[in-house]
Amino acid sequence: MSDNIWPLMNPNSTPNLIDIAELPGSPAPRSPIYSVTSPPFRTTPPKIPSKSSEKFIAIGIDFGTTFSGVSWAYSEDPGLIHEVSHWPCAESQVKDEIQVPTQYDLAANHFGYMISRDALPIKWFKLLLLEAKDTKDDVKNSEYLADARVKLAERSLDVVDLIADYLRKIWDHTLSEIKTQVDIDALPLRVAITIPAIWPQYAREKMKQAAQRAGIMQFRPIGKTRLDLVEEPEAAALATLLERKKYPEIGVGEVFIVCDCGGGTVDIISYKVKSIEPFRLEEAAKGDGKLCGAFLIDDAFETWMQYKSGLKFDQCKAPKHDFRIFVNDEWEYTMKRAFSGSETNSEFTLRPPARAFSKVKRWRGTNDSYSLKKETIRQFYAKTLNGVRQLISDQKKEIMRKHGKEPKKILLVGGLGSSRYIYNRLQAEHQNVLQPTRAWSVVARGAVIAVLRNTFSSKEFSGTTDTKVKHTLYQLPEISARVSRYNYGVENGVPTRRADPPVDRSCDRVTKDPDGTEIVWRMNWYLKQGDTVDNKDPVTCDFYQYVRDSSTKKATFKIMTSDTAQAPVRKDHSVKQLCSIDCEFDVPWESMNVVAGVRRIDNLNLTMRFQGEPKWSLKVGEKTAEQDVNVQYTGGSA
């Protein structure tokens, strides 16, 4: 902090929500998203003009723990979302899949399906974006993550480098696929990468760094590429609800839980239908999430096969390679996806490598198959299923508390959400679970619509005149209100005579401001956990700044967060600095108020909106125009 600036919140002002008229085309915060049914077959690509500042390609990247996917759309045809496929594959083949494995072979510089069957690629590396303190022991000590750390250390790479390399491969393939249908060089790109809603801010910043290093933001003569982060559960939720808009269960006042089960995280979010035409939704309860995705199921299977099955994979010619091929062929693409728990047979057959059997079985010729009991397979799902059940149970209780009724439906989406076993177990408990189709691509498609909706809601694109496009965009679901998952605020000085609770000098920090007033430093939370924020009403906070030097033209604000249900009065161990915000002001020196011989700028108004992540702007004095600010995020789990 500059010696010339005293960042104090005005003690006479209270944090408030500014009322803004709900005008068509006003900015929509965070991540409005949309999904469509399978697009019709087209023999010719859409016609696109050579240049237009109002036309662009929207690209959504779902970077997952175990699988990733990409979707895209042309801004003048927002009802048609394409899913990237034809992923390159080893042995000169292509995979006509809409998802590609999140795996990378550093030695061969290959990704996804390009990795040969005898390679030992890095897996689950998305989880390395989380610091150890934010990861459970059984996760951070897993074999795959330990292997990834060793391989990165051997090459003096960090996880951001690795993710950048993987994203670059996905990005290059995506651009080549889009080029087969449109003249991509004639259009700007708007990109969104999805992130788990429970991720701390430092992990989000690392993701943006990886995108930069991957070349996604590389200079293009047609115009700057814009990058946004979109929270996975919100993308999945709105994409799914839009597809179900015409179904009978969608009614005004009804509440829906959307459980997004992915490879790493399981996120849960709930929405209440506010209106059908236009389709408006409001978040019904504070969302939640756990690190309990499909990777725990895979880990349980692999651990059991290695240490409890009686098989000896260390006897194979290439133990690690043979084991991974076995897991891939006999589990990932077969049993895991087909298992429902309702099968009549009590045992299931696997075919491990012959050398994994004992010498006796090999001698007797009984080494061609291995039987796995149904109950054992159920145990592989136990940790993940229990995590999902707890999230749904807690969310239902909160909905009952706030809205006085049960959710209409529980929508199960995401890659793991397509598991018939998970569905059957949840349906047996709740009787109102639905499993929408196209679950694998729902997050990427939602990210595309987040780009479309947010871009067309901005001032830059508000002048579009295409009636058809406007009508399609008008049909997209809009989030009219959200519930904060954290407390957001600042530490500010309050006159000791007005402190509530009274000053406790054994734990309070007491100083004096420039005019000699004794002040105590306390937390002032302008947004608390569980508060509902209307998307038309940005959260604002008023400040004033002391300035001693006429050349000073910068103000700095430090934004704090806490994840406690009861926001603390003082800056305790739960309070972390989220970021510092620098902004320029042009208030003339002679027009500043003078307090005790020190100049002071009044009427600094800091505004926070949600758009996938908090976004700030500043109003100075009586000016109505907002100016952007420079935000520097702080490491840590805030």
- pTM of this structure: 0.82
How far is it, in rounded angstroms, from Cα 56 to Cα 76? 8
The yes-or-no verdict on residue 516 having pLDDT over 60 is yes
pLDDT, residue 361, reads: 63
The yes-or-no verdict on residue 90 having pLDDT over 80 is yes
pLDDT, residue 621, reads: 56
Residues 417 and 451 placed together within one structural domain of the fold: no
DSSP category for residue 505: T
65-80 pLDDT, tens per residue?
999 999 999 988 888 8
Which of 528, 573, 579, 587 lies closest to 557, judged by CA? 579
Once rounded to an integer, what is the mean pLDDT over residues 517-530?
A: 90
Residue 429 lies in a domain: yes
Residue 363 lies in a domain: yes
Angle between helices 382-403 and 294-307 (to 10 degrees): 150
The yes-or-no verdict on residue 377 having pLDDT over 80 is yes
pLDDT, residue 241, reads: 85
How far is it, in rounded angstroms, from Cα 212 to Cα 209? 5
pLDDT, residue 1, reads: 39
How far is it, in rounded angstroms, from Cα 140 to Cα 85? 32
What are the phi and psi torsion angles at 583 (to 5°)? Answer: -145, 150
Residues 286 and 364 placed together within one structural domain of the fold: yes
pLDDT, residue 467, reads: 76
Residues 298 and 341 placed together within one structural domain of the fold: yes
Q: Which of 5-9, 308-312, 403-407, 583-587 has the lowest mean pLDDT?
A: 5-9
Once rounded to an integer, what is the mean pLDDT over residues 493-519?
A: 88
Residues 339 and 410 placed together within one structural domain of the fold: yes
Residues 104 and 159 placed together within one structural domain of the fold: yes
Peptide bond into 78 cis (omega under 30): no
418-474 pLDDT, tens per residue?
999 999 999 999 999 999 888 888 999 999 988 887 777 665 555 555 777 777 777
Given the DSSP bridges, would you call strands 122-123 and 103-105 parallel, antiparallel or unpaired?
A: antiparallel
Decide if 380 contacts 297 (C-beta within 8 A): yes
Last residue of a domain, one of 376, 402, 435: 435
Q: Place 386 in a pLDDT band, splitting at 50, 70 and 90.
A: very high
Residues 379 and 424 placed together within one structural domain of the fold: yes
Residue 37 lies in a domain: no
How far is it, in rounded angstroms, from Cα 223 to Cα 227? 13
Q: Where are the beta strands (DSSP E) in 217-325?
A: 226-231, 255-261, 266-275, 280-290
Residues 287 and 346 placed together within one structural domain of the fold: yes
Long-range contacts of 615-623 (CB under 8 A, 24+ apart): 616/559, 616/581, 618/555, 618/583, 618/585, 620/585, 620/586, 620/587, 621/587
Place of tokens 């930069």: 212
Once rounded to an integer, what is the mean pLDDT over residues 324-346?
A: 92
Last residue of a domain, one of 378, 406, 435: 435
pLDDT, residue 302, reads: 94
Diameter of the chain measured on Cα atoms: 98
Residues 105 and 193 placed together within one structural domain of the fold: yes
Residue 28: other Cβ atoms inside 10 A:
21
Last residue of a domain, one of 417, 452, 476: 476
Decide if 498 contacts 522 (C-beta within 8 A): no
Residue 123 lies in a domain: yes
Which CATH number do you get for residue 281? 3.30.420.40
pLDDT, residue 19, reads: 26
- Cβ-in-10-Å burial (0-12, 13-18, 19+) of 395 comes to buried
Average pLDDT of the residues of the chain:
82
The yes-or-no verdict on residue 48 having pLDDT over 50 is no
With residue 614 as reference, give the H or E element that holds it: strand 614-620
Residues 528 and 461 placed together within one structural domain of the fold: no
pLDDT, residue 439, reads: 82
Q: Which of 100-114, 517-531, 540-554 has the lowest mean pLDDT?
A: 540-554
Q: Place 365 in a pLDDT band, splitting at 50, 70 and 90.
A: low
Residues 283 and 341 placed together within one structural domain of the fold: yes
Decide if 295 contacts 335 (C-beta within 8 A): no
Once rounded to an integer, what is the mean pLDDT over residues 344-369?
A: 78
pLDDT, residue 15, reads: 33
What are the phi and psi torsion angles at 572 (to 5°)? Answer: -100, -165
Q: Give residue 62's domain range.
A: 57-234+440-476
The yes-or-no verdict on residue 620 having pLDDT over 70 is no
What's the domain count of the chain? 3
Residue 338 lies in a domain: yes
Q: Give one DSSP letter per residue of 338-400, joined into a string.
A: H--S--S-SEEEE---GGGS-HHHHHHT--S-EEEEHHHHHHHTHHHHHHHHHHHHHHHHHHH
Residue 465: other Cβ atoms inside 10 A:
7
pLDDT, residue 193, reads: 96
pLDDT, residue 264, reads: 92
Residue 28 lies in a domain: no
The yes-or-no verdict on residue 606 having pLDDT over 80 is no
Residue 374 lies in a domain: yes
Residue 92 lies in a domain: yes
pLDDT, residue 214, reads: 97
The yes-or-no verdict on residue 10 having pLDDT over 60 is no
pLDDT, residue 469, reads: 75
Residues 266 and 176 placed together within one structural domain of the fold: no
Residues 425 and 276 placed together within one structural domain of the fold: yes
